[in-house]
Amino acid sequence: MSDWKQNLQKFRYVMDTLLLISFMLVSAPQATGIPLHEWFSLFFIIPFVIHLLLHWDWVTRSFGRLFDNITARERFNIVWDYLLYIMMLLVFVSGFLVSVALLTALNISLNIQDFWSKIHHDSATFIMPMLGVHLALNFSWIVKLTKRMFAKEAK
């Protein structure tokens, strides 16, 4: 494998790890308090977008593969990942629409509606097991890449 591909793999690995850690931090508003939860969520968008960009080749190829002759597991994985992305967008949008600290600090005034509060709570709750399934579906890839990353470091 060429050096730039190895460096890309390392960068993906590090960014995906940071994405997971930041997701866990954002997902615990009880531990951080609402103001920090909202600010962390704003900054969480950065590793989330980087994750999408680093895996953009998969994103673009996978949609076309839905119509190919692929296994049910592959098809499920593709559909699941797209649903996870849509759910993440729903959490982001609804979260900003119910913000009490972030928007106030930015001098933006919104009338918080119960509908969006419920959507945010329910989608944020549902995204946890969705991420678990996403990680489980990609577990063998994660293990293989982890072994490769640490094998390279040992040499």
Q: What is the mean pLDDT of residues 106-134?
A: 92
Return the DSSP state at 109.
-
Q: Which class for 2: exposed (0-12), middle (13-18), buried (19 or more C-beta within 10 A)? A: exposed
Q: Show the tokens assigned to 64.
A: 């076309």
Q: What is the mean pLDDT of residues 132-136?
A: 94
pLDDT for residue 119 is more than 90: yes
pTM greater than 0.85 (yes/no): no
